[in-house]
Structure 1
Amino acid sequence: MKKAVLDQNILKKYREHLYDEERSQATIEKYMRDVTYFYRYLPEGDKVITKEVLVAYKGSLSDRYKMSSINSMLAALNGLLEFMKLNNLKVKLHKVQRSAFYDEEKELTKSEYKRLLDTAMNNGNERLYMLLQTICGTGIRVSEHRYITVESLKEGKAVVKNKGKVRVIFIPAALNKMLKDYCRKENIRSGSIFITKSGKPMDRSNIWNAMKKLCMDAKVSDKKVFPHNLRHLFALTYYRLQKDVVRLADILGHASIETTRTYTMTTGRECQKSLSKMNLVIPEYKKTT
């Protein structure tokens, strides 16, 4: 049987394969980082892939990473094995008990969101102020902000193309007006609204860093401040109002409702309050005579 050897040429072809699959740039970089980590794990001069090596590699990750991170790394590795036509060597992911509640330390509240907006404006960063409202007001992914264009404001909606799928994002009227005013002020006449000085759409890492700088002045924990949490706040707010997880999945662009369910999780404290309102626990029993 011919040995399955991993080399730089295969890694290069795998990257090209991911591009052909129309994976997002962030996904491609994540997958390549994970499979390169496995490549470096293999002994120098003997980059042979066997089931024994894969099992040992899987075990080596346990002391360094959380279970969810390990599964993510193994999923990337399985993608490589499938590309190499080594499906028989694919490794099993760890079974992880799904949490019933959202981590309260990470939940961004509406009041905290508003403090972030106030801080952005007080710091003179109107572009960030508008971007935060755009992500939180539409539920888009941070990478999708480039589809919010001057042209989309005229239509009142944006057509988002991501992961080989197309969906329509409606822009709330109040947000639409604010963005039009912003474009006139900044002399943005066409194309993406949130751009750098060179005219390119803002990079997610720059957005992430800009948001983190707001934390101290806004008195919001930096554990709660990252672009994806704005999307989570949108989803949870929508679900509380509409109670329609199917429609929410369409808006967020999820292929599976199971993915959407993670966005609708409440905190343990909120669940306790709901249980108390049911009034099914009688505190004192009084015997009737």
Structure 2
Amino acid sequence: MSTFEDYLLNRGLSANTRTAYLYASKQFNEMFDEVNDANLDAYKTYLQDNYSAKTINMRINGMNAYLNYLGETDKRLRSVKIQQKPFLENVISKEEYEQFASYLESLDDRRWYFSVRLMTCTGARVSELLKLNVSDVETDHLDIVSKGNKLRRIYIPNQLREECLSWLHEEGISSGAVFRNQAGNRITCRGLSGRLKSLAKECGINPNVVYPHSFRHRFAKNFLEKSSDIAFLADLMGHESIETTRIYLRKTSAEQREAVDAIVDW
């Protein structure tokens, strides 16, 4: 069966363009479990909140190629000429996170609890989280080598490390992947994303704010409430430019509304 990569190759696109388009489709599928108009609009909003216009349009072009590949020719994302919004959207709040984490901890299957906790306490991308092995938890960090052979270290806070090791011991998992499906293989990004959305609905949390990258956002927001060292945060998150990290200095739209209501009394 022809893959999206084959489709792009047959169109004669350059290697760099193919890589960018494949990344866009991968990013979308990690965040959403279905290709529909609502999710496409949400993805576009996410891009607008986090990337430059040039990057947004590259991702949009990639998604349009992906839609053509899927045969969804009636769906199309428009390119943009924008300034970034002065607020963040669709980021899980502290209260929602605490409610969700508490619910997940109460379940017999605590894979989902530790997946959410680790993303929120480390800032790991979902693809990085699912690379985690038992040996990484034991040594309290995961080393990621990115483009240009740049090393990034994802640190696991000590208390969470101890909790996770105890859980792994209870489950009889002594080596290999931390997060596994029922067949014993590593959970896929899409599998994790879809399951968390289902659990969000069970818990009474808005599923639109429950996707893997939202917990990475929560990590950054929580970090900046404790520390003003944005350069350190950029290193922890693996951002190539500190300008990417600055978005987390912005309030969410809900936080802006709360601040206005608290300030304006005239």
TM-score (norm 1): 0.65
Q: Name the amino acid aligned to 1:127.
A: R
1:258 aligns with 2:243: yes
User: Any gaps of 5 or more consecutive residues in structure 2?
Assistant: 1-5, 30-39, 49-55, 64-78
Deviations 1:226-267 (A, max 9, x none): 111110000000011101211111100000122112233212
1:151 aligned counterpart, secondary structure: helix
Residues 269/215 of structure 1: CA separation in 2 closer, same or farther (3 Å cut): closer
State which of 117, 131, 146 in structure 1 corresponds to 2:101.
117
Structure 2 equivalent of residue 235 of structure 1: 220
User: Any gaps of 5 or more consecutive residues in structure 1?
Assistant: 1-6, 34-63, 78-92, 284-289
Cα pair 2:21 2:58 within 8 Å, conserved: no
Structure 1 equivalent of residue 92 of structure 2: 108
State which of 94, 102, 111 in structure 1 corresponds to 2:80.
94
1:27 aligns with 2:26: no
Q: Name the amino acid aligned to 1:158.
A: L
Q: Name the amino acid aligned to 2:238.
A: G
Q: Find the aligned partners of 2:223 and 2:262 in 1 and give their Cα distance.
A: 22
1:188 aligned counterpart, secondary structure: coil
Cα pair 1:139 1:234 within 8 Å, conserved: yes
Task: Give aligned pairs, total.
Answer: 225
Structure 2 equivalent of residue 137 of structure 1: 121
Cα pair 1:147 1:159 within 8 Å, conserved: no
1:26, distance to aligned residue in structure 2 (A): 5.8
Larger Rg: 1
Deviations 1:87-106 (A, max 9, x none): xxxxxx63212111123xx2
Cα pair 1:138 1:169 within 8 Å, conserved: yes
Cα pair 1:108 1:233 within 8 Å, conserved: yes
Q: Find the aligned partners of 1:109 and 1:171 in 2 and give their Cα distance.
A: 22
1:274, distance to aligned residue in structure 2 (A): 5.4
Cα pair 1:160 1:169 within 8 Å, conserved: yes
Q: Find the aligned partners of 2:113 and 2:154 in 1 and give their Cα distance.
A: 20
Q: Percent identity?
A: 26
Residues 242/127 of structure 1: CA separation in 2 closer, same or farther (3 Å cut): same
Q: Find the aligned partners of 1:197 and 1:282 in 2 and give their Cα distance.
A: 56
Deviations 1:13-62 (A, max 9, x none): 758x359x9x599617459x9xxxxxxxxxxxxxxxxxxxxxxxxxxxxx
Q: Find the aligned partners of 2:9 and 2:20 in 1 and give their Cα distance.
A: 20
Q: Greater RCO between the two (CA within 8 Å, min separation 6)?
A: 2
TM-score (norm 2): 0.70
2:145 aligned counterpart, secondary structure: strand
1:189 aligns with 2:174: yes
1:197 aligned counterpart, secondary structure: coil
Structure 1 equivalent of residue 76 of structure 2: none
State which of 208, 230, 234 in structure 2 corresponds to 1:223.
208
1:72, distance to aligned residue in structure 2 (A): 3.7
Which has the higher mean CA deviation after the structures are superposed, 168-177 or 155-164?
155-164
Q: Name the amino acid aligned to 1:95.
A: K
1:262 aligned counterpart, secondary structure: helix
Q: Find the aligned partners of 2:82 and 2:228 in 1 and give their Cα distance.
A: 27
Cα pair 2:144 2:152 within 8 Å, conserved: yes
Q: Find the aligned partners of 2:7 and 2:256 in 1 and give their Cα distance.
A: 51
Over the aligned positions, Cα root-mean-square deviation in angstroms equals 3.7
Cα pair 2:20 2:58 within 8 Å, conserved: no
